[in-house]
Amino acid sequence: MTTQQNISVYAQSIQAGLSSVVNPVPVYANFNRNFATEPKFVTWQLRNVHQPVYTGTVQSVKGIDTPIFQASVFAQKMTDAFNIANTIIQALHGYSGNLGGLIYVSKIDVNMLYNTYDDQIKLHHVILDARMDIPC
């Protein structure tokens, strides 16, 4: 039986994968209001790591891990926010391979959840949800 990846490996992979897709737009692991001084940037948060997905007749055998990360695109111009979000969707939806050069991902599903505008920081905000299917 194989084992699941360490959570820190998932985090490093997401950071490297998103950074390579949206470069030169900066990518951060979490939102900090200090970033709001930049005209556009992307943040992400990892959730649902080691979600139980069992395969086969023996329910104790893990077949796939399905961590989910949420990416937030922030930009002063709405068109920039949508264009960056579209770049992420085009590059990662259906992706199969070594994400960030660190882990093999069978498939990534990316969905746009919604867009909004934050009046306090004066930035457009597009929220994407991405589920990774990782064999383990």
What confidence score (pLDDT) does residue 52 get? Answer: 61
Count of CB atoms situated within 10 Å of the CB of 128: 24
Angle at 67 between CA 39 and CA 128, to 5 degrees: 30
Tens-digit pLDDT profile for residues 40-98: 999 999 988 776 666 556 655 566 788 999 999 999 999 999 999 999 999 999 999 99
How much is the pTM?
A: 0.87
Angle at 125 between CA 87 and CA 6, to 5 degrees: 65
- Give residue limits of the domains in the chain: 7-135
Architecture of domain 7-135: 2-Layer Sandwich (3.30)
